[in-house]
């Protein structure tokens, strides 16, 4: 397929995304140095863990799909359009699932991410967190930051995988390394609450939160 020339809107969106990434990168770098120097703290209490999962889950559903990265041309892009719908075309979740499933089976990590999210949220398919974890793991292993973050959320909740705060922290840090704004936000929450394997550091958490909020405001709204 011959690549389409980017439109003016696409160019502007790319510029905004680049600015968001640059902002998130600075926060991520600061947090990684402090968090790794401090070392992993003991596992968080049930209350802190549940709070962190709830906050992260809300953020992921609000913005995660839109921040997955540049979608592949062809079936993945068509699947995204079917997933979101538009003013002229209503959403078609069964068609989106079909497109993502076919592309994921062929090894497309972006399609695997969307497929995992559809399984996780029971969209056009029965909710299956084990299947979600498998596809998110596939995408995360192929450098898809949104999948890394979604997989971390499953580890925090013990949903489809064995609960593991340290594994969650590791995937959050990997996503932050790739300048994913929501991962920066999650690190801020972990540092603020002393959860997700992070040692509490309120001053650093406040700095992280400011950077993350700024980056997220520049991101496109989800779904």
Write out the chain's pLDDT in tens, 223 residues: 333 333 444 434 444 444 444 444 444 444 454 444 444 433 334 344 434 444 444 444 444 444 454 444 599 999 999 999 988 889 999 999 999 999 999 999 999 999 999 999 999 999 999 999 999 999 999 999 999 999 999 999 999 999 999 999 999 989 988 889 999 899 899 989 998 888 899 988 888 888 888 878 876 555 4
Q: Are 186 and 172 in contact (CB under 8 A)?
A: yes
- CATH 1.25.40.10 in the chain: give the residue spans: 70-143
CA 94 from chain centre, in angstroms, equals 22
Instruction: Pull the structure tokens for residue 223.
Output: 């779904």
CATH number for the segment(s) 70-143: 1.25.40.10
- DSSP label of 62: I
List alpha helices for 106-157, DSSP H. 109-121, 129-140, 145-157
């Amino acid at each position: 397929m011959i690549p389409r020339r980017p439109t003016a809107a696409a160019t502007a969106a790319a510029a905004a995304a680049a600015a968001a990434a640059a902002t998130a990168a600075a926060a991520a770098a600061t947090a990684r140095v402090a968090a790794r120097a401090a070392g992993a703290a003991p596992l968080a209490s049930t209350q802190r863990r549940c709070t962190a999962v709830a906050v992260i889950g809300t953020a992921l559903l609000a913005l995660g799909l839109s921040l997955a990265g540049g979608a592949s041309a062809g079936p993945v892009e068509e699947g995204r359009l079917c997933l979101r719908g538009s003013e002229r075309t209503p959403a078609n979740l069964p068609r989106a699932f079909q497109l993502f499933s076919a592309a994921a089976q062929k090894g497309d990590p972006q399609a695997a991410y969307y497929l995992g999210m559809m399984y996780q949220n029971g969209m056009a398919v029965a909710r299956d967190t084990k299947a979600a974890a498998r596809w998110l793991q596939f995408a995360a292993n192929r450098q898809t930051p949104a999948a890394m973050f979604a997989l971390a959320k499953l580890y925090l909740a013990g949903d489809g995988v064995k609960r593991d705060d340290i594994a969650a922290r590791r995937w959050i840090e990997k996503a932050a390394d790739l300048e994913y704004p929501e991962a920066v936000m999650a690190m801020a929450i972990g540092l603020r609450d002393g959860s997700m394997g992070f040692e509490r550091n309120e001053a650093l958490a406040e700095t992280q939160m400011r950077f993350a909020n700024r980056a997220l405001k520049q991101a496109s709204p989800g779904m």
